[in-house]
Structure 1
């Protein structure tokens, strides 16, 4: 109604046909714009989205929180689906995609960023509440920005950022500065100087070859280099024949005994000390600085010269210092005061069983036994080499009981938890849960990979499996020692210590001790099953009852 007069629609349409006709023929997008303009329901602006991305690129979490709040309170997010839940999820997928690209631009490694994106989208698809989606959108952006902040790659130029990414992506390959420079289309000298300038890190810190070579050289400096050789009056020409030693001559040479089990502990200590000193001196720029135009191979060879001199002087001082002690050298010191007492303790089968038991006890609470293995493995390796030396010389192995306990009580028996018996027990499973878990973990367990079973049951913090998990090494070790005495096993092949840790126990034990050791394996396997079976049946019956209850509940809801 205009001017208090009712309008005639047909007359109005006829007189304004030149305006209305183009609108009726307009594309759908143009028709959709009409209600948006009328109701002022405009999309969120591109600038506001761009600012959010810039906050992520900078890793500015505090500013991102403010910007996100403003972003959510202004404008609309459009309409991506007629279903409100699907609409929100589609929007968040777009947000995750945008944020992922911003994080990569800010320096987050691509693989890490894409993995985060995949995991967040998977989490999104499981949500059922609209408020949960809004919360996840906030967490996504904050998490990406925080990751960028931690990496701090955004502080370097694009070229150096590309250099860092290239190094990370080829971390386990042999890299050279020339190869990286060629990949980035940069001059070698400019790349080296710019990398140092922007990151504060010398490119040599990405390469441990120099520290490794200095460690080997230091170990050789500390080795006694005199071998006493007996001199006889008349050199025998036929054997066997006795001879009289007239004198002893000293020959300058390295003794190979120090490159075996005797020198293992010293080698570990020296490698750690030299590497630590090398890193600390490198951080203090104690290097020979050459002009930017000097070829990289010349720089590589001369820059650590001062550090090498300092390290060699330190090693020389250590060698001279020990020469004035009753030990004469660091190797005797290590053997008498460190290696011998520790090896003697670990060689005791009861101590070794206690260590394995404690390792499984830690596993029950979710702490990996490698915490102990890092300390124990060098000692076991030392004893293994001593066994190999004795076996090669035709003598009985000195650490026979250690080999027996290790064969049945360590993770070489179905992995951590000695899971061979558990796998066999699971063949009697009635619940679908454990039938499926058996398919997943049985083959892996044969090759001493027990994680699918440990986490699938689970055994951690599960009181049902506390006893079989924790006390298996002690029980099996004790029985194996008794059987070895009954079967009169006096020697074993120690070369099995060098086999891959995934070698199945029966194969390892057959190679090591033949038929007698296989008999021990068979008896211990039966015992292993008997220990696990009653506890597994309790867990299986419980899982079966839960499955029946779930089926009954589903049936009642359907009815």
Structure 2
């Protein structure tokens, strides 16, 4: 017991302080709270993603024929599919707001900067279409894409330009979704920091008191916004000479490696272990891990959603295994530590009054993936007797879920973002169909099997203490009665 106390002391005095210092930095707080602004659009967009991809052929065909599938796709495209816009505005807004200044002008400045650093063009759709070749009325390829490309130069130069020049003056929606997320994070945080620094330094236009406050605020933001946008313009110009832009560079250098790391088995196991690790010491592991990991997992979700929307969801086409829904609906299923197995034990096998009472209290919250009554009531926090299953269950579930998706037993998660309070099995169906719902049921069984022996041992200890206390109280009552 003394050794455990010493280990706990080491964690609390040596390990946790630097971690908490990092978590409480201005940037991480802005990242965590700013990403929250994407959630309504992710969830709303997920509804339209489901409606535009109903997994019932007859219904899907009817929706396509009626045109409603296109309407649902439009709603998906302007919510879920441009989540980087919501993120960049939200993070700059929160950063500056936390510094005590008006946040919205900073958020809009970040949005302008985000657009400015990317090339506002898309590939010519005619050229892209010709890449697959020319087909006849029957759909048969009569000239390969290679042959078409080789013969373009035989056309008049004006026609060549029309067919090959990129379409300019448009927003490339590719960079407004998951692929632009790291760029959005960088821009949001840097703009938030720079805007706040200039405000603190007094770089603002102060108008007389007679000017309406709504007008004065816009002039206050003018100098910081102007400086930031001017610098961004020079950055864009510099990258233009290299025939690229900063957003593409950030995607290649940062986002792709980080997505690969988060989507690996090792990444899944680290995340699965980290959540209960923080909780065991009384720190909200879900918030800490979710804030950091979400920045890399949400783009994975968005990428899968794009594949699902296009009807190409498979690992062969680049679908990710570990997404934000993998985190929410497996690693944190029924609450951090996947404590549903402990709930089941308390309801059907517990002998101690403490377990029975808390099991009844926790049942409904557990259905909606909330388990604070157990974490602090049993407690699980700082309880060595329940530490092993609390750490082990999420790791086993993460490992086994990764495996069943990797080998093709269940399909990759479809990118639908079920709210984290969605009950198990229902959430499994939404995020991956009936096979995923069945697998979620299996994870509930895994939780029960692992928690059961540890819960039984701890329950026996509690029951013996309760019986001893009851006997002690009865003896005291009898002594008091005899004295009378």
TM exceeds 0.5?
yes
Which aligned pairs between 1:470-481 and structure 2 lie closer than 5 A?
A: 470-481=391-402
C-alpha distance in 2 between matches for 1:474 and 1:374: 19
Aligned partner of 2:300 in structure 1 is 383
Question: How far does the alpha carbon of each residue in 1:403-450 deviate from its partner, in whole angstroms, 9 at most, with x for none?
Answer: 595476411x11101011111111121111111111221111111111
Question: The residue matched to 1:401 in structure 2 has which SS?
Answer: coil
Matched, 1:361 2:280: no
2:107 pairs with 212, 237, 243, which one? 212
- For the 8 Å contact 2:369–2:423, the answer to whether it is kept is yes
- For the 8 Å contact 1:348–1:402, the answer to whether it is kept is yes
C-alpha distance in 2 between matches for 1:522 and 1:250: 50
Deviation at 1:490, TM superposition (A): 3.7
Aligned partner of 2:385 in structure 1 is 464
- For the 8 Å contact 1:231–1:249, the answer to whether it is kept is no
Deviation at 1:539, TM superposition (A): 1.4
Question: How far does the alpha carbon of each residue in 1:259-307 deviate from its partner, in whole angstroms, 9 at most, with x for none?
Answer: 0111111111111111111111112222222222122233123232222
Deviation at 1:315, TM superposition (A): 1.0
Deviation at 1:343, TM superposition (A): 0.8
- For the 8 Å contact 1:342–1:379, the answer to whether it is kept is yes
Matched, 1:421 2:341: yes
- For the 8 Å contact 1:287–1:305, the answer to whether it is kept is yes
The structure, 1 or 2, with the larger RCO (C-alpha pairs under 8 Å, 6+ apart) is 2
- For the 8 Å contact 2:329–2:428, the answer to whether it is kept is no
2:425 pairs with 494, 506, 520, which one? 506
Aligned partner of 1:323 in structure 2 is 240
Aligned partner of 1:180 in structure 2 is none
Aligned partner of 2:436 in structure 1 is 517
- For the 8 Å contact 1:459–1:466, the answer to whether it is kept is yes
Deviation at 1:507, TM superposition (A): 0.6
- For the 8 Å contact 1:364–1:466, the answer to whether it is kept is yes
Which aligned pairs between 1:19-418 and structure 2 lie closer than 5 A?
A: 205-229=100-124, 240=139, 244=148, 246=152, 247=160, 248-252=164-168, 253-325=170-242, 328-369=244-285, 370-397=287-314, 398-402=318-322, 406=327, 409-411=330-332, 413-418=333-338
C-alpha distance in 2 between matches for 1:307 and 1:491: 44
Aligned partner of 1:540 in structure 2 is 459
The runs of 5 or more residues in structure 1 that have no matched partner are: 1-200
Deviation at 1:482, TM superposition (A): 4.5
Deviation at 1:256, TM superposition (A): 0.7
Q: Quick one: structure 1 residues 298 and 240, their matched pair in 2 at CA, closer, same or farther if it must change by over 3 Å? A: same
C-alpha distance in 2 between matches for 1:202 and 1:553: 58
Matched, 1:549 2:468: yes
Which aligned pairs between 1:420-459 and structure 2 lie closer than 5 A?
A: 420-427=340-347, 428-459=349-380
Question: The residue matched to 2:167 in structure 1 has which SS?
Answer: strand
- For the 8 Å contact 1:407–1:509, the answer to whether it is kept is no
Number of aligned residue pairs: 355
Q: Quick one: structure 1 residues 230 and 207, their matched pair in 2 at CA, closer, same or farther if it must change by over 3 Å? A: closer
C-alpha distance in 1 between matches for 2:135 and 2:400: 52
Aligned partner of 2:25 in structure 1 is none
Question: How far does the alpha carbon of each residue in 1:113-158 deviate from its partner, in whole angstroms, 9 at most, with x for none?
Answer: xxxxxxxxxxxxxxxxxxxxxxxxxxxxxxxxxxxxxxxxxxxxxx
C-alpha distance in 1 between matches for 2:194 and 2:455: 53
Task: Provide the alpha-carbon RMSD of the alignment.
Answer: 2.9
Deviation at 1:525, TM superposition (A): 1.9
C-alpha distance in 2 between matches for 1:484 and 1:260: 24
- Higher Cα Rg: structure 1 or 2? 1
- For the 8 Å contact 1:408–1:476, the answer to whether it is kept is no
C-alpha distance in 1 between matches for 2:343 and 2:351: 14
C-alpha distance in 2 between matches for 1:417 and 1:203: 32
Deviation at 1:517, TM superposition (A): 2.2
Provide TM-score, normalisation by structure 1. Answer: 0.59
C-alpha distance in 2 between matches for 1:489 and 1:409: 14
Question: The residue matched to 2:335 in structure 1 has which SS?
Answer: coil
Question: How far does the alpha carbon of each residue in 1:194-243 deviate from its partner, in whole angstroms, 9 at most, with x for none?
Answer: xxxxxxx9999453111111111111111211223155799999684767
